[in-house]
Structure 1
Amino acid sequence: MDEKDWVAIRVLYEERNISRAAERLYISQPALTYRLKNLEQQFGTSLFFKIRGGIEFTSEGLYLANYADEMIKKMQRTKDHILNMKNEVRGTLRLGVSSNFAQYKLPRILKRFSEKYPNVQFNVNTGWSTDIMNLLHSSSVQLGILRGNYNWYGIKTLIHKERLCLISKKEVDMTKLAELPFINYKTDSSLKGLIDGWWHDRFSEPPFVTMETDRQETCKEMVKNDLGIAILPEICLQPSDHLHTYQLTYKNGEPVVRNTWLMYDQDSLRLSIVKSFIEFLNDYSNTY
């Protein structure tokens, strides 16, 4: 097996469908099938079998998929350390970043970092913070930027705080929110728990939910068209939205705050590219 075989097996394991795997690998389906048959001949066993709508791995195939994933990670670590031996800030920085931070903050950060270190490339995965935690635990990324409170065995640094805000097209009476149409959106459990916790602290009845949207931006557009109220993190709001915003507080007067954390493993600091980005991000976070 070589690196191309490892990648082919991993992608096939993720997709469980030869056509979709071939598309992700940018090769033809016959070419992928030929490569897989060669692997089966090499190991003298079947690696998968066809099922309705795709394929399923045999026990031998599952073992090989785990092996391929491990070898890909070892190869990446080897490349990282060889580049690091040159004492230069260069190579590929692998980041896992919460979607909101990636949309509103990350592009400017990466632009400024690349201006300082032009020999650095970026491999960025974005998603809900729960997804980023999974990437961290599997060592698929070197650094994770997550929003909300998550347990992490490595190093965890607070880089940003923001308030949660109620938004409305018109002025509202904050004591009568339960009577107003409320617009929900899909989000991770951390933010949902924060919103639900504040609501239960303030009201004895649930919100009058009239819409369930798939994204925060869709939710905000509904509010901008006066179709209801919503609660969003401050990071999502711009002066150009022309909305009334009310920063949330609990009954005891404490603000409802959403934290953004930088998380990484202690061993990652051995890499100059990772260490340089951490230092850069910590300096940058003091300016916004």
Structure 2
Amino acid sequence: MYENRFHIGIVRGKPNWNGMAIRLFADQFYLVDREIWSLDQLIHADRPFIQFKSDSTYSLHIQQWWHERFRTMPVRTVMVDQIETCKQLAYHGVGYAILPEMALDDREQHRVHLIPLKNKHGEWMTRDTWLISSETAWSLPQVQSFWKVLRQFSPLS
């Protein structure tokens, strides 16, 4: 990306990019669990927090939220390598997870409680997805065609 070997990139989180950056959408975070229905229950819960290996900005975002709210980290944590594994463990009652909205399965949501997360200012916790490009690449006809198609199918902000 930084060697300018691409025309368009789609990046989650805040891109460290000097070229064009267009915010495509925001993905809201939810605490997902079969037993916990309120964030106030977390401080007394003996259930494990199931996390998936993710990019450092995602993990830091969740850790900052947790520390703002509870001042300590979860007592028990299970780390898995895939977001799907994390989701399935939460859906099957093994523990709770914090997942982005796009990872949730509409057909299975009746099995769990979905608690939207807010930061200390009362704002929804989200992760943005961005389209990035250089000014030169943006002027290419194939890039403009891709952008036209993307705009037809995306809730662009």
TM-score between both structures, scaled by the size of structure 2: 0.89
2:32 aligned with 1:175: no
Q: What amino acid is aligned across from residue 265 of structure 1 in structure 2?
A: S
Letter in 2 for 1:202: R
Measured in 2, the distance between the counterparts of 1:183 and 1:138 equals 36
Instruction: Tell which structure's C-alpha radius of gyration is larger.
Output: 1
Residue 265 in structure 1 maps to residue 130 in structure 2: no
Which of 1 and 2 has higher RCO (CA within 8 Å, sep 6+)?
2
Distance 1:137 1:246, change over 3 A: same
RMSD: 1.8
For residue 162 of structure 1, the aligned residue among 3, 27, 30 is 27
Matched, 1:233 2:117: no
* TM-superposed deviation, 1:280: 2.4
Identity of counterpart residues, as a percentage? 33
| TM-score (structure 1 length as normaliser) | 0.50
SS of the aligned residue for 2:107 comes to helix
Structure with more of its chain in helix, by fraction? 1
Deviations 1:165-202 (A, max 9, x none): 10002343311314332111100011111111111111
List runs of 5+ in structure 2 lacking aligned partners.
none
| 1:250 CA drift (Å) | 1.6
Q: Quote the residue 2:84 is aligned against.
A: 217
- Are the equivalent residues in 2 in contact too, given 1:186–1:214 (CA < 8 A)? yes
Map 1:1-288 onto structure 2 (within 5 A).
136-178=1-43, 179=45, 180-242=47-109, 243-286=112-155
**Structure 2: which amino acid aligns with 1:199?**
W
- Partner of 2:23: helix, strand, or coil? strand
Gap regions ≥5 residues in structure 1? 1-135
Q: SS at 1:274's partner residue?
A: helix
The number of aligned residues is 153
Q: How many Å separate the matches in 1 of 2:76 and 2:36?
A: 19
Secondary structure of 1:246's aligned partner: strand
Q: How far did 1:287 drift?
A: 7.3
